[in-house]
Structure formats: C-alpha cells, structure tokens
Structure 1
Amino acid sequence: MGLDAFQKAVENADRRAEPGAKVEHALCTSGAGLNDAWCRFLAERDMLVGLSVDGAMATQNSVEGGTVAHRQMFEAARLLRRHGVDCNVVCLVHAGNADRPHELYQCFRDGIGIRHVQFLPVVERTDPIRRGGDLRAGPPTVSERTITPEQWGAFLVAVFDEWVRHDVGRQFVKIFEDTLASWSAATRRPRAARAGGERLPLDCRCCPVLFACEGGRPADRFAESPHGEPGLNYLCAGYRRFFDHVDQPMRVMAALLRGGRDADAIMKILARYERGRPAA
C-alpha cells in the first residue's frame, strides 16, 4: 500500500487513542521495500522493526554470495542501522534449515550485526481440523516443511550453548530471555499455566517445566500425551529437552540476578569450570 497509506494508518491510530494512552507502533517486514523515506519515518516514530526471515536465506556467508532475498535482508538491516532504527530478526526454523543452528545464529550476530533474534518453529498441519476429537479421521498430520520435536530441541540446545558461553548480555534471543525470566520468577515446580491450564493433559499439568512452557502455542496442541490424552503440544519433546538442558545455567543466572549481579557473569563461571575440567 506504500508509505503514505502506512503513515495515515499510524496517524489515525494515534488520533483514536484514549486520553493519556501511549501508542507504540511496530512493523514486521521482509525488508524488500525499505528505502530512505521509509527509514526516516520509522526513525521519527521510534518504531521497532522486525525483519522476517526464512532461515534458508540466512545461511550464506556474504552478501555477494547470497540469494536476492539474502542480499535484501543484509541491505535492509544496514539501511535501518544507518537511520538509527531499532530492528530485530524473526527467523522461521523448519525442516530444511533446522540442522544449521550455528550458521543461522552466527549470520545474524556476525554477518548482519543484529542483536535481537527470535526463532519461530514452523508447524503446519495438513489434516482437516474438525470440532470434536472423535470426528477427526486418523491422527493429525503435518507438512514436510514442519520441524520435528527432535530437530527443534537440538536446534535450541545448540544455539543456547553458543549463547551462554559467549553472548549473554550482548545478544538477545527471545526464548532464552523469556526462559530466564521464568526461572527468575518461579521455583521449578508444577503449576498451572496462566491461561487454559485446566484444559492441558495431565502430563502437562504434572510437568516440572510447565511454569516455563505453559503448554506452548495453543495452535500446536494437537498431539496426544503418552497416556492418550489430546491437547499435547506437538513440539513438547523438543521443548522438554531444551528446558532440561538449560536448567542448571538458568538457575545460576537467576541466582546472579537475585544477588544484584549481571547474568553475564555466568560466562566467566563456565570458562573457569571448563578450564579446570579434566580432558575426556
């Protein structure tokens, strides 16, 4: 629709705001249509811009060697930075790129210089969704592009191990920041999710990491629990592997924060531990 239409939409939202309300605007885009005029407006309004990226395009090592979409992503990030626009990356992780966690993370951190990253797992159902579990013919099916629970767990663990050793306080990965907030706010014990917890399978309600995952995205709760109950998150096994893997470092970082220290002190703690650990 163009910049003029976007400006009018923003102005209209501001005019309709209740007295005393503060309106904040954000934009999610592939970056293909960004130019100086767009970036000047985004900077004036102090908007956060999320660059939506299919992870397959982010595994090239340079702008020159990448695809057209890959070059557009680099150029959009550079243009936004030049105008002082705060931006992050929203990266889709699917079956085609889930085995390259380090390439993706390092591309955003080192290649583009993006400090805020959100990884979103691709889960696409292909079976018809009907109301009432007894009306569905056969178990739910997913597309070939859909990430498996095992892939998602391995991806998160690999990126976390890089982040916790080198990038705490420097790079902000949304799921890690959210997980640290959960560990800081609660002891590791079963408790109900904030919303809809009563509809979760018994396995979820008794899970020691429910306080962190809260059952996952409602749209992904179409698997069966080990005891045959519906409503289990399709990616449950992946999230459980991740939360179990990060439990100890999250406890350490939460303790650091409670003691008035920065969470990034864990990097020195891990470095000392690994230097003193005997070789295998």
Structure 2
Amino acid sequence: MKQTLLFTDALKLKRPDAFHVMLKPSGSACNLNCTYCYYLEKSKLYEKNPGSGMKMSDELLEIFTRQFIDAHQVPVVTFTWQGGEPTLMGLDFYRKAVDLQKKYAGGKKIENSFQTNGTRLDDDWCRFFKDNNFLVGISIDGEEHNHNHFRRTRSGRPTFARVMKGIEFLHKHDVEFNTLSVVNSYNVHFAAETYRFLKKTGSGFIQFLPVVEFENEHNTPGNLRLIAPIHQDRPRVAPFSVPPAQYGKFLITIFDEWVRNDVARYYVQIFDAALANYAGENPGLCVFNDTCGDALVMEHNGDVYSCDHFVYPEYFLGNILDTPLIELVKSQSQFDFGVDKRNKLPRYCLKCDLRYFCHGECPKHRFLSTPEGEPGLNYLCEGYKLFFRHAEPYMKFMAEELENKRAPANVMTWIRNKENQVVKPIVPGRNDPCPCGSGKKFKNCCMGLPIYRT
C-alpha cells in the first residue's frame, strides 16, 4: 500500500514537540514472576553483555536527562519510570535523578510517573514520592483471587497482601496513585467485582490493559518465547491472553456501572479515550491514536526501541551513547513505525463505521485476516465492536455536552430520566370503545382504573 504522508506527519518527522520515553533503569529485572509478563525474558537480549548488571549507570542517567529535557519544545516534561520493577534500583538512584532534573530543567516543569508492583514500598519510598510529587502507578489485577492467579513471586507465592500493604503506605503519606490492571483469561470473568474493588483501593484513575501474547513455535532473534506476530502467519495465542468477545463484555459491564454512577468521580482510561475520539479530540492513549511512534522505550544501557511492546531486535533504533536521543526519535525508522499504524489498516477497517473509536488499536494485535482474506485485522476487534456499539449512544450524549460546554457527567441524569420515565397511556373519550377490547364503552369498563387517573 502506498504510504500516505500528511502535513502533521511531516511536522512530526521534522521535530516532534513532545514524546514519551519509558525508562527501564533496571531492565527487565523484577522480584516477581507474573505468568503473563512479556518483559521478563527481555534479559535474553543482553545475555552476551552482562557487564552492566541490568542497572543504569549514573553517567547514562545524566546523559539521558540532559538529552530528554533539551529535546522537548513544551513547558512540561514527564519522566516515566518502569521495569521490570524500578524500585530495584534503590532510592539513591532516584534522588540522583531528581537532582539531575533540577540541574537541566532550564525553566521547564519536570514531572515523574513511576509504575511499580507495589510489593517493596515502605515509609522511605512513599516519603520520597510525596516530597518530589511523583505520580505512582500500582499494578494490581483486582480482588485477591484475581490478582494472585497470575501475579506471583519467583518462588510461586501470592503477592496480593504485599501490594495492599504498599497501597497502605501510599495512603499514609498522601501519595497520588492510580492503578493498572492487566485483563487476562481469568479476571475477565469478574468485571464488576474488579471495578468495584479498584475503586475501594482509593484509585481515582483506573487503567485496563488487555494482555495478548504469542508463543514462539520457531527460532526467533533473541531466542524469545513471547514474540511479535510478524514471525509467523498464524501465531499461537498464549493461554493467559484475554478472549476478544469476553473482553468486550468485560468493558460493557464496567461501562454500564461507570456511566450511571461514576462519571467525573472515577476516571477509566479507555472510556475517556473513547469519548475523546468520539468528540474529535486527542485520546491521550497511543493505541487509540490514528498513528503512533511517540512512546519509545529505553533500556538500562541506553538502547532505544520503537515501543514498550516492540522490544525486539527488529525494532531497535540505536543507543543514545552513540546517537542523540532526538535523532532516534525523529529517525525514518521510527517515523515509518508510527504512520504504519494508519497506512497498513486493511480495507475492512478503513470502511468500518466504528473506526474513529480505535483506529485499529495496537499494531501488535493485528494478526488476524479480514473476512475478505486481507491481513492486519486486530485480534480484539470483535470485543471492541461489542463495546463501542454499546457505548456509542452514551458517548454521543457526552460529546454533545462537551461541545455545548456542559459537563459530560450530565449523562447520569439523562440515563436516570430515560430509565425511570413512565409512559402514560392515551386516554380514550368517555364514550369511545374501551382499549381493553371488551366491546364496552370506556366509561362502562376501564375508565376507573388507576392507570387512567390523572
């Protein structure tokens, strides 16, 4: 398919104003061994060069900090720390990071977000987060039985109690946090329970991430077990992956509760993103953008890849010790990676009346064929169609409220009015035939019933 180059694409290729880099200062190292984790085995990519011990050096931290801040043409710059498990670097590393951010800020406001499994949090960590205004993301998959099903330690022990203890420390120090829940083959069957539990944790911003991974049947670069679907025509979906239709029903169940009770009280990322797309705004979620490529990942040694979900040798862009970060971000390879999300949509998607909601979702999930046999259909398409079709009337109302500068939360009153509306019967004249079909006049039959009284 011929590549489409829009004016906005050309601007991005010249120099993006802002972009995200997910930092992996401890690489894939983690104190847990979650069954569905796609990142644990990335250590195999560095088996031939173990000298760094999977820990970012202070020298590299300073180089990245300077390059990252200098590359941004916006007043606010956000550092995103993830893993593996980023707390394995220790507090002193992040104290150094904050000092370097202040050194190179150059008048820009610096923010930090920190995604953790929560099991290692204590007073010291949470005091640091509070003092430095870190936004913390907690990985938790729902109630105890949901969470412990796949999220366990390396020795197979459950982790729920330790995560909840970590959340207690966050509350104790008044640290702002949100939750990230992986929707998988198990907890997909407990939608309402999961949503209500997450609200009880005190999370005001709830993220759901559908897991879809592919198991290796052939040798691949890096000898990875979980692979990108480019390696085979019909990749074998891992058993912990969320089934498409069930995922759609999961979203519908939670949406029905949220749209009736919780709009503007709790923010569910996928609902906010869908509404933004319906209203013609930026969804703020890469998988629902028409193009991607603005969210890269940097490993512990400075290696940069196109995306957190594409840390494979084929998507290696370079190392910031050899090539400045901004050159990797605006490279032709990364540009092509980003616009391919739009340009490689199959015709089936291009003509879909719900396309504006998802824009084909994540390219990693596009390994099915369309009914016409064209490759590139998203594995989760069936589920997304169920959800978007169900949510569309409510999205329409909320988008109209936004357009008229009114609160989308008005949808809750709108729904209650619709569902509680009593349909009043048409009252016949006194001498008209009774609508019950008795053949009598209305005045001699049902006229006195309560339903006809005003």
Q: Do both share a fold (TM > 0.5)? A: yes
Deviation at 1:225, TM superposition (A): 1.4
Match of 2:123 in 1: 36
- Please report the TM-score for the alignment, with normalisation by the length of structure 1: 0.86
SS in 2 for 1:43: helix
Which shifted more, 35-44 or 121-130?
A: 121-130
Match of 1:72 in 2: 162
Deviation at 1:148, TM superposition (A): 1.0
- Distance verdict in 2 for CA 1:58–1:181, change over 3 Å: farther
SS in 2 for 1:118: strand
Give the 5 Å matches for 1:1-280: 1-17=89-105, 19-55=106-142, 57=144, 59=146, 69-110=159-200, 112-128=201-217, 139-185=234-280, 193-194=290-291, 195-196=339-340, 197-276=342-421
Structure 2 contact 143–197 (Cα < 8 Å) conserved: no
- Deviations 1:55-90, CA, capped at 9 Å, x for gaps: 463658xxxxxx952222222223212212110000
Q: For residues 257 and 185 of structure 2, what CA distance do their matches in structure 1 show?
A: 21
Structure 1 contact 55–93 (Cα < 8 Å) conserved: no
Deviation at 1:9, TM superposition (A): 2.9
SS in 1 for 2:237: coil
Structure 2 contact 142–198 (Cα < 8 Å) conserved: no
- Deviations 1:90-132, CA, capped at 9 Å, x for gaps: 000100110100110010113x12111100001011145879x
Structure 1 contact 140–223 (Cα < 8 Å) conserved: no
Taking CA–CA contacts closer than 8 Å with sequence separation of 6 or more, which of the two structures ends up with the larger relative contact order? 2
| Number of corresponding residues | 262
**Aligned-partner residue type, residue 220 of structure 1:** H
Q: For residues 13 and 45 of structure 1, what CA distance do their matches in structure 2 show?
A: 11
- Deviations 1:225-250, CA, capped at 9 Å, x for gaps: 11111111111111111111100000
Q: For residues 214 and 54 of structure 1, what CA distance do their matches in structure 2 show?
A: 27
Q: For residues 358 and 184 of structure 2, what CA distance do their matches in structure 1 show?
A: 20
Deviation at 1:15, TM superposition (A): 3.1
The alignment-based identity, stated in percent, is 35
Q: Which runs of 5+ in 2 are unaligned?
A: 1-88, 148-156, 222-229, 282-288, 292-338, 424-454
Which shifted more, 173-182 or 47-56?
A: 47-56
Match of 1:64 in 2: none
Higher helix share: 1
Q: For residues 137 and 168 of structure 1, what CA distance do their matches in structure 2 show?
A: 42
Q: Which runs of 5+ in 1 are unaligned?
A: 61-66, 187-191
Q: For residues 401 and 110 of structure 2, what CA distance do their matches in structure 1 show?
A: 34
Following superposition, which runs of at least 4 residues in structure 1 exceed 6 angstroms of deviation?
none
Deviation at 1:10, TM superposition (A): 3.4
Deviation at 1:2, TM superposition (A): 1.3
- Please report the TM-score for the alignment, with normalisation by the length of structure 2: 0.54
**Aligned-partner residue type, residue 234 of structure 2:** P
What CA RMSD, in Å, does the superposition of the two structures yield over aligned residues?
Answer: 2.3
Could you say which structure has the larger radius of gyration? 2
